[in-house]
Structure 1
Amino acid sequence: MTSPETTPQSRTGSAFDPASATIAIVTYNRSGLLSRLLESIASMDPQPGHVVVIDNASVDDTTDVVESFRDRLGTELVYRRLDTNTGGSGGFSEGMRTAYDLGSTWIWLMDDDVEVIPDGLARMGAWAPRFKSVQGRRYDYDGSEFYWQYRLSIPLGIPIPFAPADFDERGYREMNSGCFEGMFIHRDIVEKIGLPDPRFFIYWDDSVYGWLASQHTTSVIVNEFVLKRTREIKQWDMGIRHLNASSNAYRYYIMRNRGHMKHYFQTHGAYRPVRFAAGTALTFAKELIRLFFVERTVRGTSNLFRGMRDGLRLARDRSWSPMPPLTPRG
């Protein structure tokens, strides 16, 4: 694992200003986890210029928890409670918009079920002079190294499950995907590709957004552990990789949102109908395996079929249009 002092990028280019960064968090009815995350941010050194919390209309004590940290953080706290639950997609879209409107140069997105490593921002900022779309690494709940599938097969529209996990002396690997649990992105890229698309609600939103970013800049995952997951998820241990448990909502949206993904690929000239259909079939099969072998049940298959049906309808929607670019602030 490299450090900000030894990373080559920290010795070249302009210095990174932590005050230019905003951490944008999306939360929903998980005040206990959110409290742990905010506690970790309070202990960070350095701290960002702003912390934005987007609350997806939680009905627990999230508001009270956020307010309890207003005087404890060494930075400005911005709290937005939405009127309805817009899903992770809508929350991250609003979080990105809020951070952008605050004038942030760098926007660091994360869910409420992680903690930030104390020098995490310094570790990410060490790469800022060289790259404009950066993903750090995460520890899993048990402290092991969490593997994230950082490359997509664009023709199939699915992650490549066995992309190399190791790093060479450069300390990074190029990626063509994204994950909102830790995406660190420059405002210049946000201006070009627009905000995350809230229509996804959940699933594939960050994959597509990261792919769009990679069309405008060299996107990388760096060998820096900056987050730790704080929520234990039931898994099937497959040796090198793990397969996590899911939910009926995820099963529905992972199939339905293939329609949105198809439109984005088609808009950018990357849609290959036969291979994309094969990727959709592989996604369906993977979710069946997840259902049978991780969750040990057959209940939930109807959500996959319903999602596939609605995804096909969505794919045929001729009125669909992508998220527009943002207008730079004058």
Structure 2
Amino acid sequence: MPDDSPATRGPRTQPDPFDPASVAIVVVTYNRSHLLTTLLTSICAMEPKPGRIVVIDNASDDDTTDVVESYRERLAAAGTELVYRRLDTNTGGSGGFSAGMETAYGLGAEWIWLMDDDVEVIPDALALLGRWTPRFRSIQGRRYDYDGSPFYWQYRIAPRMGIPIPFAPSKFDASGYKPMNSGCFEGMFVHRSIVQRIGLPDPRFFIYWDDQVYGWLASRITRSVAVEDFILRRTRDIKMVNLGVRNLRASSDAYRYYIMRNRGYIKQYYRAYGAYSPLLFAAGTAATFCKELIRLVAVERRSIAGAKNLWRGLRDAREVAADTTWRPMPPLPVE
């Protein structure tokens, strides 16, 4: 059963008051310095501000380093430490968030707030998130889309199928939150005690499904929630089509491959945690494949022949799932 207590470490019965200085924002970036500039500028305008910003650069070959360094003194003057870590190779979003969380955890951050470089923060976002911290340890705020409209994120998954539930209610009741069993690294706000128990995000995913699995793991040990407060705004426009019941956004050949390949990793996690149902998981994989075919044709206006990357990913997923040496990410040492 999930641990609903406000803290998972130590003997105290009441949570410590929320301290914005205990927060480390983790940003993963790759060759998008213009977007990173917008994000860092918005962080400078926050009130209150976080104690640290950890920027993980996935081996960019543009002017990302110069952009980051241009903010160091400005942030320091406001009391925020800037930690810049440039990786030797592009490890994908999964590797970047794993490295970022490892860095933030090692620096002693009490709360870790994850985001990509294509968003900006709402000025009072930390105050909004902070009001939930006495009660919850895994929190997901809302996001405005590029056009200013509320973005609907699928906060519930069908656990044994391993896919989002597209019709989960979007409205909040008077409580202001909804239980979730998923996660999104575009805004996930997680306490270090949860990170310690389930370990780092799995870099083997490279991209896609990594945050859903991490959120699912968190929901197994704590009461994870999606809250009504808007904390981020997307700054990059993405092509999409409205299908009536939901919107589908444009993707890429790389995403199509990893969407299917990483089903093998989800299967491994489900086996490891006793949640694997062969029939239901196969149904979830088939539904994912069909959804990506619809996306390919309806959003990207491409021939169904473009599905070769889906098939390639599905083939490699079988190889991943057959690996008997595979193990989940280990817990972290208590510091």
Give your verdict on TM over 0.5: yes
Give, in whole Å, the separation in 2 of the partners of 1:163 and 1:219.
16
* Cross-structure match for 1:301: 307
**Mapping 1:75-154, distance limit 5 Å:** 75-154=80-159
- Tell me the percent identity: 69
- Give the TM-score taking structure 2 as reference length: 0.94
Counterpart pick for 1:321 among 319, 327, 331: 327
**Mapping 1:212-291, distance limit 5 Å:** 212-291=217-296
Counterpart pick for 2:46 among 22, 44, 47: 44
* Cross-structure match for 1:187: 192
Segments of 5+ residues of structure 1 without an aligned counterpart are: 1-11
Deviation at 1:15, TM superposition (A): 2.2
Q: Where does structure 1 differ by over 4 angstroms across 4 or more consecutive aligned residues?
A: none
Give, in whole Å, the separation in 2 of the partners of 1:239 and 1:98.
42
- Do residues 311 (structure 1) and 317 (structure 2) align? yes
Give, in whole Å, the separation in 1 of the partners of 2:194 and 2:87.
25
Deviation at 1:239, TM superposition (A): 3.5
**Mapping 1:50-69, distance limit 5 Å:** 50-69=52-71
Q: Give the secondary-structure state (helix, strand or coil) at the position aligned to 1:271.
A: coil
Deviation at 1:300, TM superposition (A): 2.7
CA RMSD in angstroms comes to 0.9
- Give the TM-score taking structure 1 as reference length: 0.95
Post-superposition CA distance 1:154-199 (Å, at most 9, x none): 1111000010000000000000000000000000000000000000
Post-superposition CA distance 1:271-323 (Å, at most 9, x none): 00011011101100000000000000025311000000000111111111000
* Cross-structure match for 2:213: 208
**Mapping 1:17-32, distance limit 5 Å:** 17-32=19-34
Give, in whole Å, the separation in 2 of the partners of 1:45 and 1:57.
31
Give, in whole Å, the separation in 1 of the partners of 2:326 and 2:15.
41
Task: Give the counterpart letter for 2:327 in structure 1.
Answer: S
* Cross-structure match for 1:176: 181
Q: Give the secondary-structure state (helix, strand or coil) at the position aligned to 1:104.
A: coil
Give, in whole Å, the separation in 2 of the partners of 1:25 and 1:322.
24
Give, in whole Å, the separation in 2 of the partners of 1:290 and 1:128.
37
Aligned length, in residue pairs: 318
Post-superposition CA distance 1:26-61 (Å, at most 9, x none): 000000000000000000000000000000000000
Task: Give the counterpart letter for 1:167 in structure 2.
Answer: F
Q: Give the secondary-structure state (helix, strand or coil) at the position aligned to 1:300.
A: helix
Task: Give the counterpart letter for 1:121 in structure 2.
Answer: L
Q: Give the secondary-structure state (helix, strand or coil) at the position aligned to 2:331.
A: coil
Deviation at 1:71, TM superposition (A): 1.1
Task: Give the counterpart letter for 2:28 in structure 1.
Answer: V
Deviation at 1:14, TM superposition (A): 4.2
Task: Give the counterpart letter for 1:64 in structure 2.
Answer: D
Give, in whole Å, the separation in 1 of the partners of 2:146 and 2:19.
30
Task: Give the counterpart letter for 2:218 in structure 1.
Answer: A
Give, in whole Å, the separation in 2 of the partners of 1:71 and 1:237.
44
Post-superposition CA distance 1:250-272 (Å, at most 9, x none): 00000000000001011110000
Deviation at 1:240, TM superposition (A): 4.8
More moved, 206-215 vs 233-242: 233-242
Give, in whole Å, the separation in 2 of the partners of 1:23 and 1:141.
21
Segments of 5+ residues of structure 2 without an aligned counterpart are: 1-13
Give, in whole Å, the separation in 2 of the partners of 1:254 and 1:182.
21
Give, in whole Å, the separation in 2 of the partners of 1:50 and 1:98.
11
Deviation at 1:237, TM superposition (A): 1.3
* Cross-structure match for 1:161: 166
Give, in whole Å, the separation in 2 of the partners of 1:240 and 1:66.
40
Task: Give the counterpart letter for 2:88 in structure 1.
Answer: D
